[in-house]
Chain A
């Protein structure tokens, strides 16, 4: 699944061959050095006390950020330890680890943002960065917060029994080796297997100029399995991957079995697969990963920064009908253990459930603090960032469609000539024109209401609002996909989830090159 770097700024990719560093630790691998001269806990500072972060440091940093007259400022501290292991040619013979430690300072004046960051967590370096960010404004200093108040109301959407930093590599190795053996045992045509296992122990602390201080511990794990099969001199490759904010217990026997079964079946079926014809036709999207449609067709266009600037195709459409009345589309961060779950967003705002489309009516944009202020609404908890090196912008979390009135079988049976899509690698959208694509890795032709020949490697292209209108059947079988989706926007990547019930799009362009039926 190669993803192309390109210039595109809003795209969604599946867990490809990313060699992103991440990994595990024997007893206390990659924890903190003893250098962490904590001065005792102060308001809201738990985890980060070990780095010498104090209440005074937060107040001084915020005051410096407001020293040129910004309306608002925040500090975003982050410590993220990533570990990954990879299996190739039968052995777990490579490990990658990364430690990210830094703090970003944002100063906001109106809708203008000054941003700076440093990896040096000393009071001096923080004040220096804060003064750099402060220069977005050019006026008399505003006072910093009088006192700091810890926000202790956070939910617990990803509790873990054991933090990843306490898991030894020896505990993870059998997972990879076991999958390798099972895949080879599952089908004689398999010739190569690659397994990637990644985990993260992340911690963030946000302090803002209203005095709010909030900390969150954010675990993540991903596992990807990719295989190559050979038959009659032909080769095919495919795979399966899963991700969630969870601990080692995530890898239940059921889940591991599913990973093997899906990876193998998705690969070997490609020997029979053909290209669908080119052109417009009805497309049925299978429950689960087809949520990529929502991410591209509407999700990005509903991010309020694009609407605040008037450049989204959905700008000025709030309150208007955009789809059939049985279409309900949600973005939420509350699904326990999901890759797109968060207890708090990266601006410190609470995270709930946001209705993008309710009974076919366009309802709510996805907001960060800046856009919420612009629209005079409460932030929706969508202010997210890749790391301390970036200012937050409105981003999706878990985007999906609620169940509808139809049945899957009824939907497939309704199509005379079309395709049914199940697996995807990536998608992309143009915010203003509304055109979007997603790349189908597996699916079937539908002929006379029945699934027939498998299909592969075909891109689908449509226009967001037009396609929403053309969703004319929605089944009752909602699935939130368990895949390791990563969303890219403005050069920042964040983890997301997506889901959908089986739906029918009455007509959309399929970029095939097969024979016209």
Chain B
């Protein structure tokens, strides 16, 4: 379907739902073109190319609620689907808290160009994707120690995503965005029989701003080679620095329990903490949906609510929750937005090397492996790997270790925040340093 047809399909779905008995409805249609090339050890491994599309529909029928989706957009099939969905909804219990957002919240969208779509998207050719993937492999194999490399897999992917959203109480919006990503995975042979692997990747909204292929390849190879000889360290309470690339997992465990659903369902260790110190003064986080070219940027959220900057934590004090329309009504709180967009940090003044120099002894965590966090109690336990830090410098590699703690204590021990926000994620974490972390090893 052409662009105007997908918008028309959203309008038609809402109209059809209202015609079949819904009092309110919102529809979202999308179309995504994605191409991915994988290259391995000197030859093309895989080309994946498709344009996918579909429709999602939220229905409010006689005080009841459902959310449905389909990829079968044949007009007759769609009519049947919407009719069935209305029938399904009628079978449920009433829920007085379900409504579309207050239309006033649709107003006041920022009048900015978020620069999410590259007009040069269509100029990317199959030859270019292959050439970049090949170049990444060559770079990986150019590093010192490359003869230990067992295998290199590299990739290039690009996406054009388009979506259209229409709600029966007046919202209509659309967006188009592009992304370009490159990646490398390198496996190396350790004399002890293990085959440690690591990866590097990076992306951008604009093809001309992609990370350099050579840097990605060399980074992946250097990281994998740095794992050679990794050993389990001793169990101990130590200072922990977390590399910016790996650190995004940690604030994510704070953001989940900030959702209205978690609060209302009594499943949040941050319930009742608004206005209280939940972290050290070193932590200041802002949810900023309006970052130009940001991976989490948006003008409106998943309900159509106009996107605004929102403080989350200021100098350690909790400032906001993520409240959508439904849980806002249940909690009698004003809606903010359903979930985070880009997380922007107040940065420190040191890079990783300077932070390690100041910390002197401890462990630099460069990756997590599995583990989980209990959103109700704040207890967490995570597998880690990285390097021992001795005398302020990176020393031997360590792996097969674990950290554990409770977020309500852990974030109060945040001692320093780096000046190096990670560019290839909406979480934008800098290097973080925590004191007194329980490591498990031998």
13 further A-B contacts with Cβ under 8 Å, apart from A115-B49, A509-B402, are A2-B372, A8-B369, A93-B93, A94-B65, A94-B67, A119-B71, A119-B73, A192-B266, A389-B50, A428-B369, A459-B381, A463-B194, A509-B440
Indicate which residue in B88, B194, B402, B440 contacts A169 across the interface (CB closer than 8 Å).
B88
Contacts of B87 in A (CB 8 A): 26, 29
Closest B residue, CB atoms, query A79: B72
Contacts of B91 in A (CB 8 A): 26, 95, 168-170, 173
Measured in the bound complex, the distance between the Cα atoms of B40 and A337 in whole Å is 39
Tell me which of A155-163, A250-258, A432-440 binds B.
A432-440
Contacts of A439 in B (CB 8 A): 370-372, 381
- Any chain B CB within 8 A of the CB of A431? yes
Contacts of A169 in B (CB 8 A): 88, 91-92
Within 53-107 of A, Cβ neighbours of B (below 8 Å) are at 83, 85, 88, 91-102
Contact B383 A25 (CB under 8 A): no
Contacts of B372 in A (CB 8 A): 1-4, 425-426, 439, 457, 459
Contact A93 B69 (CB under 8 A): no
Q: Chain A interface residue count: which class?
A: 35 or more
- Any chain A CB within 8 A of the CB of B68? yes
Closest B residue, CB atoms, query A109: B44
Measured in the bound complex, the distance between the Cα atoms of B201 and A7 in whole Å is 10
Contact B442 A279 (CB under 8 A): yes
Q: 1/0 contact trace for A98-125 toward B, CB 8 Å?
A: 1111100000000111111111000000
Tell me which of B75-83, B299-307, B349-357 binds A.
B75-83
- Any chain B CB within 8 A of the CB of A430? yes
Contact B44 A511 (CB under 8 A): no
Known pairs A95-B66, A459-B404; A235 contacts B266 (CB<8 A)? yes
- Distance in Å: Cβ of A441 to nearest Cβ of chain B: 8
Measured in the bound complex, the distance between the Cα atoms of B235 and A510 in whole Å is 10
Residues of B in contact with A (beta carbons under 8 Å apart): 40-41, 43-54, 64-74, 76-77, 79-81, 84-85, 87-89, 91-95, 98, 126, 150-151, 153, 187, 193-197, 199, 201, 227, 230, 232, 235, 249, 252-253, 256, 265-267, 368-377, 379-383, 385, 399-405, 438-442
Tell me which of A197-205, A306-314, A328-336, A470-478 binds B.
A306-314
Known pairs A30-B84, A511-B381; A98 contacts B68 (CB<8 A)? yes
- Any chain B CB within 8 A of the CB of A482? no
- Distance in Å: Cβ of B423 to nearest Cβ of chain A: 15
Measured in the bound complex, the distance between the Cα atoms of B79 and A300 in whole Å is 43
Within 135-190 of A, Cβ neighbours of B (below 8 Å) are at 135-136, 168-170, 173
Contact A94 B227 (CB under 8 A): no
Contacts of A436 in B (CB 8 A): 369-370
Contact A112 B81 (CB under 8 A): no
Contact B376 A237 (CB under 8 A): yes
Contact A278 B439 (CB under 8 A): yes
Contact A437 B383 (CB under 8 A): yes
Contact B370 A513 (CB under 8 A): no
Closest B residue, CB atoms, query A93: B95
Known pairs A34-B76, A112-B43, A117-B50; A29 contacts B376 (CB<8 A)? no
- Distance in Å: Cβ of B260 to nearest Cβ of chain A: 13
Contact B197 A432 (CB under 8 A): yes
Indicate which residue in B77, B193, B197 contacts A32 across the interface (CB closer than 8 Å).
B77
Known pairs A25-B88, A311-B150, A511-B371; A235 contacts B377 (CB<8 A)? yes
Measured in the bound complex, the distance between the Cα atoms of B381 and A432 in whole Å is 23
Contact A117 B52 (CB under 8 A): yes
Contacts of B252 in A (CB 8 A): 4
Indicate which residue in A26, A32, A99, A118 contacts B69 across the interface (CB closer than 8 Å).
A99
9 A-B contact pairs sorted by A residue (CB < 8 Å)? A4-B252, A92-B92, A97-B84, A117-B52, A133-B49, A135-B126, A136-B44, A439-B381, A462-B400
Contact A91 B95 (CB under 8 A): yes
Closest B residue, CB atoms, query A34: B76
Measured in the bound complex, the distance between the Cα atoms of B79 and A513 in whole Å is 57
Closest CB pairs A-B (n = 6): A511-B402, A437-B370, A428-B370, A432-B195, A278-B440, A459-B381
Contact B441 A119 (CB under 8 A): no
Contacts of A136 in B (CB 8 A): 44, 46-47
- Distance in Å: Cβ of A484 to nearest Cβ of chain B: 17
Known pairs A26-B87, A432-B195; A35 contacts B370 (CB<8 A)? no
Known pairs A117-B52, A119-B73, A279-B235; A461 contacts B84 (CB<8 A)? no
Contacts of A438 in B (CB 8 A): 370
Measured in the bound complex, the distance between the Cα atoms of B371 and A88 in whole Å is 27
- Distance in Å: Cβ of A515 to nearest Cβ of chain B: 11
Within 450-483 of A, Cβ neighbours of B (below 8 Å) are at 456-463, 465
Measured in the bound complex, the distance between the Cα atoms of B401 and A434 in whole Å is 13
Contacts of B266 in A (CB 8 A): 191-192, 228, 230, 235
Contacts of B46 in A (CB 8 A): 112-115, 136, 391
- Any chain B CB within 8 A of the CB of A23? yes
Closest A residue, CB atoms, query B199: A7
Closest B residue, CB atoms, query A4: B249
Contacts of A135 in B (CB 8 A): 47, 126
Contacts of B66 in A (CB 8 A): 94-97
Contact B187 A435 (CB under 8 A): no
Contact A310 B64 (CB under 8 A): no
Within 480-517 of A, Cβ neighbours of B (below 8 Å) are at 509-513
Contact B194 A313 (CB under 8 A): yes
Closest A residue, CB atoms, query B150: A310
Task: Report which residue of A173, A312, A439 has the largest number of chain B beta carbons within 10 angstroms of its beta carbon.
Answer: A439
Contacts of B440 in A (CB 8 A): 278-279, 461, 509-513
Contacts of A96 in B (CB 8 A): 66-68
- Distance in Å: Cβ of B139 to nearest Cβ of chain A: 19
Contacts of A102 in B (CB 8 A): 52, 71
